[in-house]
Structure 1
Amino acid sequence: MNPPKTTDLESIIQEVEAALGKEDLTKAKYQARIRLVRFFIGLVIPLILALLWLPTGWAVALRDALQGNAAWWRTWAVIVVFMLFSTLLGFPVAWYFDFYVENRLGTNRQSFRGWLWDQIKQATVGILIQSLLFLGVYTIFRLWPDTWFWGISALVVVFLGATYLLQPLLVRLQYKTEPLDDPELDARLKALFAKAGVRYAGVAVIKAGEKTARTNAALIPKGTGTQVVVFDTLLEATTPEGVEGVVAHELGHKVHRDLAKLMTLIGVMFIAALAVSYEVLQSVGHIWGLEGPTDVATFPLLDLIVAWLFAAMQVALNMYSRKVEYAADRFAVETTQRPDVFEEVLIMLAKDNKALPQPPVWVETLLHSHPSIAHRIQAIRKMAQQEQRG
């Protein structure tokens, strides 16, 4: 019988760092710094946009030029212009973080042309969906000035529900897919779903390897069942047992209804952010020629308030997310009964995705939706030892 593995966090960190190797560890540290920088830039950009549009009078001029408050489609047009401007302003940032940095990490496999085309598709879909959402917000503010809260709540529910149902379409818009050509793995996953009591709708292999070296898998709705979508890079990087472990983790989220709970929490946060935004726009939304919460020219200010409030509330969201990730890990290990395989998969994911084994505690606490690889391995080992002791 093998001796129990250490649960000392520092020792685990050293193990994972050794498994990554010097080159990947250096890249992981670089990526961790870059993501921190990107978080703060994400806060600065809405502020820059608000300062460009509002004190200069450009927002009011755009509203007046398009008669933005006169009809719903004019309001929509103004919002689309705001979002197009934001996308263009943010393009150098997107290029740096999503193309240049990915090249430095060795995870990008796309040409600039291919990457740019993907950016255009993503921006088009994003602007369409988000502009319709904020069109709904302004419409509700205008139609129900005293009872807008209930209208906003209903709008957010519809928006989140539509986003969930559109998942399969959004995946296929971004990637080519093909059926899984591995009957043994298919049978293994089908049995796993049956054990979890979830209706199995097959496996779609995402041809992600054409674009990235990163690995991933997820579950998405398909008809009355649930389909596994798995990156071809994951199939290449691990064994069938490893894939089973990753899918078992995702099944844990499904069985625990984590997505529904997370979307509910996000919905509550979004409604709260819009409620605070309405009160702020009531108070200060008449400067610079603005006309209060119903005026589409206030959009840059609304965007700034929502972005900053969400960043602040993200701490609570991440805390909850890390908790459910631990629970999904436990489900995966209990279902497959292979903690050793799941531990190997976590190290493989860290290596392929350039994840730092253990970021600074304050960074993990404030900014990470997943526990660190070292913390996850520690939790798995403690669980295995508890089960051995009976």
Structure 2
Amino acid sequence: MNPYLIFILIVLVGGYLLNLVVSFLEIRSLQPELPTEFRDVYDKEKYRRSQSYTKVTTRFSLIQDAVTLMLTLVFILADGFNMVDLLARSVGWGAISTGLLFTGMLLFFSFLLGLPFSLYSTFVIEERFGFNKTTAKTFVLDLLKGVVLAIIIGGPLLAAVLWFFEITGHMAWAFCWLAVTLFTFVLQFLAPVLIMPLFNKFTPLEDGVLKEGITAYAAQQDFAIQGIYTMDGSKRSTRLNAFFTGFGRFRRIVFFDTLIEKLQPQEIIAVLAHEMGHFKHKHIQKMMGISILQTGLLFFILSLFLGNEQLFAAFGMEHISVYAGLVFFGFLYAPISMLLSIFFHIYSRRNEYQADTWALNTTADQGEGLINGLKKLCVHNLSNLTPHPLNVFLHYSHPPVLQRIEAIRRVAQEKEAAPCQAGAKI
């Protein structure tokens, strides 16, 4: 049997089995006893619902993964990629246009496969647990907008990648790396002003105590912002969130309207201080730099496999092409991607602790505003308070909330003890 096919089948099945084990451990790690730290904000019924939500979403994800795995294996073993390739070639277009058509058809099949799961997740599971506010009209419009953006933005980028590999020879990977990097930077500027408003309404924060507190804190931290906005997150969900977006004069602070409704002003400012910590420690720039290096690695390794006849034979292909090679390489790169994601998650969790410490050091309440804000976020989002360590290691970009709170309290105690220790030395 083809060695590439054996490797790909092992990766696909092995990945599913790993997720199966992690999911089993995640459900087993749920603690029926409400943690002491949350007894002031969580009642037993709400805590029971959060655990039920974890069980339901975990099992649903396993079902979706199983169906996806089964259909993917059937598609590969039945030479489905070759059938799609022959269909795309039958139109008689050039190599790049055929590649776009080939990729588009695969994405369309993937979309059809995921649509029933998306519908069930949104209108059954999220509805059952009180999160969903998405109407059928909004759901359909979001899909249509997503498709249009994929065509307008993703199409030219893919065409450029295909063109570079078709025309520029052995240095094509470097040109692709540069093009994708430039595209990423441009998108960072365009997203806040052109793309995000297509999906949500952004309204300047009303004058009042909250805006005054945020403005004062931003001035204290010498942080120039283009504006402070609320976003109609309640249009789709009751979940709470906040984020920075954009660079330079396009930089914005955005709060979900649900967050403003549920959190007190000092808690919102503490959440903002945490995000400010990411900015001050240059976490976003560092993560982008690492991501750019990862993209370069991806394109370089990709260039080594694009014309590999055995790789194409593993998928039953009659023709070798750059566009199909891009797709097939994704299967080979999956283990590397997983290992790199583990590194990213470790680094990201470290950054979260640093941002929490920044919030503690730049607000006057010894971290209590941030702790209370984190607690309310967990309660309203039905977060799992006791995730299994293996799941955290593999998938969590943020530390578990109980560990974050413990770290905040520890830093606060050390900060409070430091002046006393300095005085004792004198």
Regarding TM over 0.5, the answer is: yes
Stretch of structure 1 that moved more, 210-219 or 158-167: 158-167
Shift of 1:222: 6.4
| 2:225 and 2:249 in contact (8 A); partners too | no
CA deviation digits over 1:33-69, x for unaligned, max 9? 425863895697488457526713213213312345x
| 1:25 and 1:356 in contact (8 A); partners too | no
Shift of 1:387: 0.7
In the alignment, does 2:399 pair up with 1:364? no
The sequence identity of aligned pairs, in percent, is: 23
Shift of 1:150: 1.2
Question: How many Å separate the matches in 2 of 1:372 and 1:66?
Answer: 52
Secondary structure in 1 matching 2:385: coil
**What residue number does 1:158 align with?**
182
Question: How many Å separate the matches in 2 of 1:331 and 1:349?
Answer: 19
Secondary structure in 1 matching 2:228: strand
| 2:84 and 2:105 in contact (8 A); partners too | no
Secondary structure in 2 matching 1:378: helix
Secondary structure in 2 matching 1:150: helix
Question: How many Å separate the matches in 2 of 1:136 and 1:308?
Answer: 26
Stretch of structure 1 that moved more, 182-191 or 249-258: 182-191
**166, 173, 177: which is aligned to 1:149?**
173
For residues 139-218 of structure 1, the aligned pairs below 5 Å read: 139-168=163-192, 169-218=194-243
**257, 277, 296: which is aligned to 2:323?**
296
Question: How many Å separate the matches in 1 of 2:142 and 2:234?
Answer: 15
In the alignment, does 2:382 pair up with 1:354? yes
Shift of 1:218: 0.9
Shift of 1:128: 4.1
Stretch of structure 1 that moved more, 17-26 or 76-85: 17-26
| 1:274 and 1:306 in contact (8 A); partners too | no
For residues 219-230 of structure 1, the aligned pairs below 5 Å read: 219-221=244-246, 224=249, 226-230=251-255
Unaligned runs of 5+ in 1: 1-9
**247, 252, 273: which is aligned to 2:298?**
273
Shift of 1:94: 1.9
User: 1:315 and 1:65, CA in 2 relative to 1: closer, same or farther beyond 3 A?
Assistant: same
| 1:318 and 1:365 in contact (8 A); partners too | yes
Question: How many Å separate the matches in 2 of 1:271 and 1:331?
Answer: 32
User: 1:40 and 1:120, CA in 2 relative to 1: closer, same or farther beyond 3 A?
Assistant: same
**What residue number does 1:22 align with?**
44
**47, 51, 75: which is aligned to 1:52?**
75
TM-score by length of 2: 0.80
**What residue number does 1:286 align with?**
312
Question: How many Å separate the matches in 2 of 1:328 and 1:209?
Answer: 27
Shift of 1:369: 0.6
Unaligned runs of 5+ in 2: 1-30, 419-426
Stretch of structure 1 that moved more, 47-56 or 342-351: 47-56
Shift of 1:105: 2.2
| 2:270 and 2:363 in contact (8 A); partners too | yes
User: 1:222 and 1:204, CA in 2 relative to 1: closer, same or farther beyond 3 A?
Assistant: farther
For residues 1-390 of structure 1, the aligned pairs below 5 Å read: 13-16=35-38, 19-33=41-55, 34-35=57-58, 38=61, 41=64, 45=68, 48-49=71-72, 52=75, 55-56=79-80, 57-67=82-92, 70-168=94-192, 169-221=194-246, 224=249, 226-283=251-308, 284-287=310-313, 288-292=316-320, 294-306=321-333, 309-338=336-365, 339-390=367-418
| 1:32 and 1:359 in contact (8 A); partners too | no
Shift of 1:225: 5.2
| 2:188 and 2:247 in contact (8 A); partners too | no
User: 1:98 and 1:114, CA in 2 relative to 1: closer, same or farther beyond 3 A?
Assistant: same
User: 1:44 and 1:144, CA in 2 relative to 1: closer, same or farther beyond 3 A?
Assistant: farther
Secondary structure in 2 matching 1:152: helix
Shift of 1:278: 3.6
Secondary structure in 2 matching 1:200: coil
Matched to 1:238, the amino acid is L
Question: How many Å separate the matches in 1 of 2:138 and 2:147?
Answer: 14
Question: Highest Rg: 1 or 2?
Answer: 2
Stretch of structure 1 that moved more, 50-59 or 104-113: 50-59
Secondary structure in 2 matching 1:107: coil
Secondary structure in 1 matching 2:312: coil
Shift of 1:147: 1.1
Matched to 1:110, the amino acid is T
Secondary structure in 2 matching 1:286: helix
Question: How many Å separate the matches in 1 of 2:339 and 2:59?
Answer: 15
CA deviation digits over 1:185-238, x for unaligned, max 9? 222111211222211222111011222110111112266252111111011001
Question: How many Å separate the matches in 2 of 1:361 and 1:263?
Answer: 27
| 1:207 and 1:231 in contact (8 A); partners too | yes
Shift of 1:379: 0.6
TM-score by length of 1: 0.87
Question: How many Å separate the matches in 2 of 1:289 and 1:372?
Answer: 45
**What residue number does 2:9 align with?**
none
Secondary structure in 2 matching 1:371: coil
User: 1:225 and 1:273, CA in 2 relative to 1: closer, same or farther beyond 3 A?
Assistant: closer
Question: How many Å separate the matches in 1 of 2:185 and 2:62?
Answer: 27
| 2:307 and 2:325 in contact (8 A); partners too | no
RMSD value, Cα: 2.8
User: 1:24 and 1:155, CA in 2 relative to 1: closer, same or farther beyond 3 A?
Assistant: farther
| 2:200 and 2:233 in contact (8 A); partners too | yes
User: 1:23 and 1:214, CA in 2 relative to 1: closer, same or farther beyond 3 A?
Assistant: same
Question: How many Å separate the matches in 1 of 2:135 and 2:164?
Answer: 43
